Structure 1
Amino acid sequence: MNEFAGETGGWEDDDEGTPADEVVRVVAESEGTSARGIATALRYPVEEIEDVLEDLRANGEVEKDSEGMWVVPDAAGPDDPYIF
């Protein structure tokens, strides 16, 4: 599991994957989780996780559900009315 490298370390010290990859993995393995839950699982500050989540949301990789939990959006299927 990833850990901070000392008190001043950050994502750049992680050589096991990008922070976005790790965050998406945790979100995908859950049925919805909070930024705090992700931060706890990965041992990162909540503020850094929130920044990563916002970037991922902008790219369409994660979204917030109606209860405010972070989830990986369902892949578009044949019944998706927005597929052209």
Structure 2
Amino acid sequence: MRRSLIIWSLALLPFAVAVNAQANPATPLNDDDCAAAWKEAGGADLKPDKAKPFIASFDQVDVDHDGAINWEEFKAGCKKGLVTK
């Protein structure tokens, strides 16, 4: 019985790590890094294909769900740790 519990615990560990990673976003970008990432991404409203290298979850950053991320949404995503360099 104890061995089964250990095996199940080890089998479920990767799932627990993945859930924790989604619940805890990356370190927020400072204003300069955020502006640099925005410029590198194209400096205009970002469609999913342009945003992909910088944003893991497009829907979390596109808060108005218009299919594009504007500068204000991008900045908010930086502060929440949803944007990476």
Larger strand proportion, structure 1 or 2? 1
Q: TM-score range by the shorter chain?
A: 0.3 to 0.5
Which structure exhibits the higher relative contact order, with contacts defined as CA atoms closer than 8 Å and separated by 6 or more residues?
A: 2
TM-score (ref. length: structure 1): 0.34
TM-score for both structures, normalised by structure 2: 0.34
Q: Which has the higher helix share?
A: 2
